[in-house]
């Protein structure tokens, strides 16, 4: 199975920052990622989880590793139902912080990620999805494809899986629905 990483981590208080940071670090270490990359993942996990607590009070995080031609990638998704970000450009400036953190915020998260996406609005809160390559970024074929596997809420293991293969000519996606949850 996919193991317990396919569980959403609830972010409800300050203790969640260390939980999310350790989850990212241990998953990367288990896959033999270099120390520098693990440190960068720790920064992203800390900043993004801190943002959830500061602006929304609570939220959830999902961390997953998936295979891709040329190496594995880690995906981190941070989501909340907070007020959303009204001035996105302002939030990407370094040193911008409305609380007591390093104020690295979204700028650092975007810089340290190989791929970065953010969706935010007053009705939906904010979701940040970041992708990290183990070493050097993978070649860009113009199509960004990422997937996440999440276990059923009552299960620890996820029976689903997928793999992506990208070439200059095509993007191949293989999906497998392994357990009978529907």
DSSP-derived letter for residue 4 is G
Long-range Cβ pairs for the range 115-123 (8 Å, 24+): 115/144, 115/146, 118/85, 118/88, 120/84, 120/85, 120/88, 121/84, 122/83, 122/84, 122/86, 123/84
Predicted pLDDT at 2: 44
Local structure of 35: helix, strand or coil: helix
Alpha-carbon gap, residue 129 to 122, rounded angstroms = 18
Q: What are the phi and psi torsion angles at 127 (to 5°)? A: -125, 130
* Burial classification of residue 95, based on how many CB atoms lie within 10 Å of its CB (0-12 exposed, 13-18 middle, 19 or more buried): exposed
Predicted pLDDT at 87: 77
Which residue's structure tokens are 């995906």? Answer: 75
Q: Which residues of the chain have pLDDT under 70?
A: 1-6, 69-70, 94-104, 136-149, 151-153, 162-166, 179-182
Alpha-carbon gap, residue 155 to 116, rounded angstroms = 29
Distance from the first to the final alpha carbon of the chain: 17
Task: Compute the Cα dihedral for 58, 110, 129, 81 and give only its sign.
Answer: positive
Q: What are the phi and psi torsion angles at 148 (to 5°)? A: -130, 145
Long-range Cβ pairs for the range 140-146 (8 Å, 24+): 141/166, 141/167, 141/168, 141/171, 143/171, 144/115, 145/171, 145/173, 146/66, 146/73, 146/75, 146/115
Predicted pLDDT at 142: 61
> CA-CA distances (angstroms) from residue 10 to 16, 20, 144?
7, 9, 27
Predicted pLDDT at 3: 44
pLDDT digits (tens, 9 = 90+) for 128-169: 999 999 886 555 666 666 666 676 667 777 777 766 666 777
């Amino acid at each position: 199975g996919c193991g317990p990483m396919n569980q959403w981590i609830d972010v409800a208080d300050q203790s969640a920052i260390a939980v999310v940071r350790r989850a990212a670090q241990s998953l990367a270490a288990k896959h033999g990622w270099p120390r520098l990359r693990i440190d960068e993942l720790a920064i992203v996990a800390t900043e993004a989880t801190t943002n959830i607590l500061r602006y929304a009070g609570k939220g959830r995080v999902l961390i997953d590793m998936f295979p891709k031609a040329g190496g594995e990638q880690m995906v981190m998704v941070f989501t909340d139902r907070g007020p959303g970000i009204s001035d996105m450009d302002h939030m990407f400036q370094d040193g911008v912080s409305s609380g007591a953190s390093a104020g690295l915020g979204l700028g650092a998260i975007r810089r340290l990620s190989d791929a970065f996406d953010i969706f935010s609005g007053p009705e939906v809160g904010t979701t940040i999805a970041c992708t990290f390559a183990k070493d050097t970024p993978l070649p860009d074929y113009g199509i960004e494809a990422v997937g996440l596997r999440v276990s059923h809420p009552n299960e620890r293991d996820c029976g689903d899986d997928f793999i992506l293969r990208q070439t200059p000519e095509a993007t191949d996606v293989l999906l497998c629905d392994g357990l009978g949850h529907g």
